Amino acid sequence: MKKLLTLLSLSTLLFAFRADKPKKIIFFGDSITQAGVSPTGYITKLAGMLDKSKYELVGKGIGGNKVYDLYLRMDEDVLAQKPDAVVIWVGVNDVWHKASSGTGTDPDKFEKFYQAIINKLKAQNIKVALTTPASIGERPDNTNQQDGDLNRYSQIIRNLAAKNNLPVVDLRKAFMEYNLKNNPKNEEKGILTTDRVHLNDTGNQFVAEQMAKVIEQL
Amino acid sequence: MKKLLTLLSLSTLLFAFRADKPKKIIFFGDSITQAGVSPTGYITKLAGMLDKSKYELVGKGIGGNKVYDLYLRMDEDVLAQKPDAVVIWVGVNDVWHKASSGTGTDPDKFEKFYQAIINKLKAQNIKVALTTPASIGERPDNTNQQDGDLNRYSQIIRNLAAKNNLPVVDLRKAFMEYNLKNNPKNEEKGILTTDRVHLNDTGNQFVAEQMAKVIEQL
Amino acid sequence: MKKLLTLLSLSTLLFAFRADKPKKIIFFGDSITQAGVSPTGYITKLAGMLDKSKYELVGKGIGGNKVYDLYLRMDEDVLAQKPDAVVIWVGVNDVWHKASSGTGTDPDKFEKFYQAIINKLKAQNIKVALTTPASIGERPDNTNQQDGDLNRYSQIIRNLAAKNNLPVVDLRKAFMEYNLKNNPKNEEKGILTTDRVHLNDTGNQFVAEQMAKVIEQL
Amino acid sequence: MKKLLTLLSLSTLLFAFRADKPKKIIFFGDSITQAGVSPTGYITKLAGMLDKSKYELVGKGIGGNKVYDLYLRMDEDVLAQKPDAVVIWVGVNDVWHKASSGTGTDPDKFEKFYQAIINKLKAQNIKVALTTPASIGERPDNTNQQDGDLNRYSQIIRNLAAKNNLPVVDLRKAFMEYNLKNNPKNEEKGILTTDRVHLNDTGNQFVAEQMAKVIEQL
């Protein structure tokens, strides 16, 4: 009986302890996420919106990364860190590098590697949220060179989210809607980005707010 | 008095003669226009809609042509033919070949060569109509790889038309609207094209109808 | 004593049996290797040169594969097959797809994924041989579009072989030397390939002979 | 007799006058030629080697130009300047832009535009010299990404020179030979270029010397 009580206490203690331990969420991505941990970055801003006792946000972004680069380094950079959840944000370089260096990613392979990442995370019971690639040029009239491809790869990601029953932060859609309202001069940068791709201060705040919506689902 | 009558007769005769001579209109473009003179092509269909005594339609399309190829061969293929009017339809390869062989055309150079072609035609008092590039993929949800660029180059052409006070056959807009209505399954081909780019029978008919609208302005 | 003798006999039998079991060698690559298992393919020809009781050759080639595709499917297609040795032949698509679809592989990432494949194989005590990409165009005067890049990626592979102490089948060098001797008209195909890349009958025989030289080291 | 003397005098005067008027030579090209007129540029250095009373060197280089850009601006920038001779140096961007922006020039079109430029110059009795594109990367072991294509386009230019009976300054060959002797560490820049493409001081001097060899043929 005493033994049972002790076990119960211990168990309560453990649960209490686990409740106190913040959820570790890794943001896994490219240069946008690499910059996200700077003092004004979207991850830093998002952390400021959340209860620190409940969430520990970790940035694992590396410049130039495509989906297969995430797959290659996920054992060390993600699985070994024992996160509770992972937010994947990738796709800009997979599309962009087609034109800038001839080294983008074919859509079928983009999907295949993305699914392989999801599988590895799920196998470890890690929760996953997906993100669509926001922007390579902000002109809301659909005249940015990579608009068609970004829309396509975003659709692949939305389909993966549906298929795997995962939440998606639809930055592509959110950026388009924001620019339709706030970019009357059809500028290609300077609204949410500094250079068509990377976030300015408004962009970091905007992304943090979009991300906040799915954090509680993780 | 007799002299006057003679003059009048001659004048009538001349007018009659001029009225009998059809306007020569050259369609100047790429493989789409090359196929346009086939028995089921858009130029053949358009000719069937028009009064043959008023219009002589000539196709001068060559597969793979970009804007600078038109410029290079225009002296021989267009100016030497002494047309009354020219309908320019180019742009698909300028965009497409970026991805398929690394040999597309930069937008600033696209505009420069296009303007140079217009200048040469205007200098010979040849009337000019412009055409926007219709399609590299028919999916109406803007997920065709080259949609952004096709929209951009179409906008360059619309701006050139406005700047040079020329009529424009806005095939890009017309194809998009047609697919929004008639492509519910978001197919990339088979609606107006056989292969995302080249016209099927419906496409040839559709283009002929679009072209017919500006012919009387020429 | 009898027990000991029995054990010895059994052991002898096992050794004998193991000696009878042929070495399983997987050829891991792209469409060239996919075609290698056809009746006239290089793997089939190589098998015909070897003692079947000593070597079992298995082809695991998939068309369009680049180095990261091999990495993605190696657990299932290679490790799960428990091979004694693996011959890796990849690189043509990593270079070629830069120009043909904008989806080639950057040299630094080519090296990184290649090393990751080697590491996984070595960790399972599987022997490894590397192969340099032979040809995208056979003109021996170095005027094939991808010659510079093929030479560069071949050098990356030679360096990986040296660094990891692995044998290398230097097809790039062998093909160049063969063409210098046997391609006096500077043809881009038809000497060892049918289409600049894939092997004709002479090419399959030539590759089989080159491969044979390193098989005994595996 | 007096008349004859007058004629002789006039003739002498004319010859003297013609002898006094220097030959006007235009260097027609891209950014390398644009930089050629700087105080340390190859045109400036070449002018310093020549008798100023005999040669007037004029630079007409514009950054980013490909062969069709030269064709487009040759009426204004070359023919209107009434030169005695033109040295054409183009090709680097035609090759390079394939990989860097998807807007290079196909080899058949490169040849076609190049021949069209030669034709226009010859029609005005302007002497012409051709130049092969020197370098996009100086590694002498043929591992620079664009080596194959640069060799190919250089060969097209050599063939054009032969076909049109024109002198050629074979910079491609000269740079390769120089690097084989002077680039033992296989560096990609810093031998004759600052950045793989544009000339450093040694490069400007080297090009001036190569150009000097053909100037007297013009």
The 10s digit of each residue's pLDDT in C128-158 is 999 999 999 999 999 999 999 999 999 999 9
Homologous superfamily, domain A22-215: SGNH hydrolase (3.40.50.1110)
Chains that touch C (3 or more CB pairs under 8 A): A, B, D
- Kindly tell me if the per-residue pLDDT of A12 is higher than 60: no
- Kindly tell me if the per-residue pLDDT of C1 is higher than 50: no
Name the pTM for this structure.
Answer: 0.91
Q: Which of B74, B103, B117, B153 to mutate to test the interface with D (most CBs of D within 10 A)?
A: B103
- Residue B109: closest CA among chain D residues belongs to which residue? D69
Separation in Å, CA of B208 to nearest CA in chain C:
33
Confidence of residue C3 (pLDDT cuts 50, 70, 90): low
Record: contact A148-B152, CB cut-off 8 A: no
Q: Output the pLDDT for position B1.
A: 47
Residues of B with CB under 8 A from a CB of C: 99-102
Record: contact D148-C137, CB cut-off 8 A: yes
In chain D, residues with a C-beta closer than 8 Å to the C-beta of B72 are 68, 71, 112-113, 116
In chain B, residues with a C-beta closer than 8 Å to the C-beta of C97 are none
- Residue D96: closest CA among chain A residues belongs to which residue? A101
Record: contact D99-A102, CB cut-off 8 A: yes
One-letter identity of residue C26: I
In chain C, residues with a C-beta closer than 8 Å to the C-beta of A65 are none
Record: contact D148-C152, CB cut-off 8 A: no
- Residue C155: closest CA among chain D residues belongs to which residue? D143
pLDDT tens digit sequence for A141-186: 999 999 999 999 999 999 999 999 999 999 999 999 999 999 999 9
- Kindly tell me if the per-residue pLDDT of C16 is higher than 90: no
Q: How far apart are CA D68 and CA B110, in angstroms?
A: 11
User: φ and ψ at D137, to 5 degrees?
Assistant: 105, 130
Q: Output the pLDDT for position A1.
A: 47
Q: Output the pLDDT for position D141.
A: 95
CA dihedral of residues D112, D118, D124, D125 (deg, nearest 10): -150
Closest listed residue to residue A64, CA positions, set A28, A86, A97, A98: A97
Separation in Å, CA of D105 to nearest CA in chain B:
5
- The residues, any chain, with a CB within 8 Å of residue C218's CB and separated by 6 or more, are C23, C25, C84, C85, C87, C127, C129, C167
Record: contact B97-D102, CB cut-off 8 A: yes
Record: contact D102-A101, CB cut-off 8 A: no
Strand ranges of the sheet holding A168-169, from the earlier edge strand across to the other edge: A55-61, A23-29, A85-89, A127-131, A168-169
In chain B, residues with a C-beta closer than 8 Å to the C-beta of D72 are 68, 71, 112-113, 116
Of C102, C143, C155, the CB nearest to D148: C143
What are the extents of the domains in chain B? 22-215
In chain A, residues with a C-beta closer than 8 Å to the C-beta of B103 are none
* Sign of the alpha-carbon dihedral angle for B195, B196, B202, B207: negative
Average pLDDT over residues D72-76: 98
